[in-house]
Amino acid sequence: MTGHHHSVVWGDHREARVVHFSVDDVNRLVVRPDDPHVHIHHKAHAIGSCHSPEDKAFISTVVDAIGGSKAILITGPGVAKTALVKHIARYAPTMMADVVAFETVDHPADNVLLAHARAYFKAADRMTAQK
């Protein structure tokens, strides 16, 4: 990941796409759980939420894939992005300072995700003090 300052992560319960990028370079990674599970939704008249538990090993692998990026945008369609942020806060608290935002984003193609991240960071970088 040498030379990459910005990263965007898009994730759901089936995969996470991590894109590290700089002005002239892009590095894409796809992380999938070792044991993918079926997404279970809440059922009427059932006790408990009926949601699958978080896959901590999968989330840890995503955190490792993010690496040492200094500006991280976390995106996704559902609760997976929140689970990732909570995991980072609990198990990699120093990385939390590098998470600049997390947003709800449906299922974009890789080029759309990268364009969104570039536009986000272009605006965000203008608003933060440069080191």
DSSP string, 79-105: THHHHHHHHHHHH-GGGGGGEEEEEE-
pLDDT over 70 at 61, yes or no: yes
Is the pTM higher than 0.75? The answer reads: yes
The residue type at 43: K
Mean pLDDT over the full length of the chain: 85
pLDDT band at 107, cuts 50/70/90?
A: very high
pLDDT over 80 at 13, yes or no: yes
**C-alpha span between 41 and 36 (Å, rounded):** 16
Length reported for the chain:
131
Contacts made by residues 49-54, CB under 8 angstroms, sequence distance 24+: 52/13, 54/83, 54/87
**C-alpha span between 49 and 62 (Å, rounded):** 25
Instruction: Work out the percent of the chain whose per-residue pLDDT is above 90.
Output: 64
Look at residue 1 in the predicted model and tell me its pLDDT: 45
Average pLDDT of the residues in 33-55: 61
**Residue in 76, 65, 63 with CA at minimum distance from that of residue 116:** 76
Look at residue 46 in the predicted model and tell me its pLDDT: 54
The domains found in the chain, sorted by start residue, are 6-33+50-127 (3.30.420.60)
